[in-house]
């Protein structure tokens, strides 16, 4: 049965520092590497072995994917990288501590930039913009491989994965602010031939 595995990268250095990261290419922390290792162990315990792996162009997602594959004994499985799966671009917010941003622009404005579907921060992307680049790549590249009865792993980011979850689950733009993935969290979908979800499982970080 076609199986799609979505996982958010482990904790990054800027997650730890509470900074807006976006397309800035920061490393995982040691905790982030442990979260990725745990994700691989949880997938192994579930009996899941990817036959295809995808990630963004950012090293925190790439390393997460590599650690997971190593835990599964699949270090030689090729990983396809694409900018289309990158995190949402935060523009002028990138690098700022979130508390500092609230002091500069106010709580309400920062909350709107973070959670509104179609409002972007200065110089950055809205979630709608992120959906516009993630979804075509998923439909044209990832989904066709998955539907060939493969188990496909996608290691990406909070917002690029929220974009995929919106499409897969039919989540509305009003509902999507409530969708939140922790670092190292895993969503597992079994699909039918029409790409409809037949089962869903969430493996929380330990």
Per-residue pLDDT of the chain (206 residues; tens, 9 = 90+): 899 999 999 999 999 999 999 999 999 999 999 999 999 999 999 999 999 999 999 999 999 999 999 999 999 999 999 999 999 999 999 999 999 999 999 999 999 999 889 999 999 999 999 999 999 999 999 999 999 989 999 999 999 999 999 999 999 988 988 898 999 999 999 999 999 999 999 999 87
Cross-strand pairs, 79: 53
- The ranges assigned to domains in the chain are 3-35+47-203
CB-based contacts of 22, cutoff 8 Å, min separation 6: 87, 88, 89, 90, 91, 93, 94, 124
CATH code of 3-35+47-203, in short, is 3.40.50.1240
User: Rg of the chain over CA atoms, in angstroms?
Assistant: 16
In this prediction, residue 205 carries a pLDDT of 87
Q: Label residue 76 exposed, middle or buried (CB < 10 Å: 0-12, 13-18, 19+).
A: exposed
> Annotated catalytic residue: which of 35, 63, 87, 185?
87
Query: What is the DSSP code (8-state) at residue 183?
Result: T
Distance CA 82, CA 86 (A): 7
3-state secondary structure of 75: coil
In this prediction, residue 88 carries a pLDDT of 97
Q: Is 9 a catalytic residue?
A: yes
How much is the pTM? 0.95
Cross-strand pairs, 5: 153, 188
SS3 breakdown of the chain: % helix, strand, coil, rounded to 5? 45, 15, 40
> Annotated catalytic residue: which of 9, 35, 157, 185?
9
- Six token digits for residue 203: 């493996």
Q: Is 35 a catalytic residue?
A: no
């Amino acid at each position: 049965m076609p199986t799609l595995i979505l996982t958010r990268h482990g904790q990054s250095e800027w997650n730890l520092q509470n900074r807006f990261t976006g397309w800035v290419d920061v490393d995982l922390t040691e905790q982030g590497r442990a979260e990725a290792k745990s994700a691989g162990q949880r997938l192994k315990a579930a009996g899941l072995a990817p036959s295809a792996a995808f990630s963004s162009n950012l090293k925190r997602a790439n390393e997460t994917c590599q650690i997971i594959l190593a835990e599964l004994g699949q270090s030689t499985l090729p990983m396809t990288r694409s900018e289309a799966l990158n995190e949402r671009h935060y523009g002028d917010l990138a690098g700022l501590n979130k508390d500092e941003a609230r002091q500069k622009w106010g709580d309400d404005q920062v909350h709107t930039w973070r959670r509104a579907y179609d409002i972007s921060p200065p110089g950055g992307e809205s979630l709608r913009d992120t959906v516009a680049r993630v979804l075509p790549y998923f439909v044209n590249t990832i989904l066709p491989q998955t539907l060939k009865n493969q188990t496909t792993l996608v290691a990406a980011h909070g917002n690029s994965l929220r974009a995929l979850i919106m499409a897969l689950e039919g989540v509305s733009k009003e509902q999507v602010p409530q969708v939140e993935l922790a670092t190292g969290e895993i969503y597992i979908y079994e699909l039918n031939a029409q790409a409809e979800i037949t089962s869903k499982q969430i493996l929380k970080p330990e």
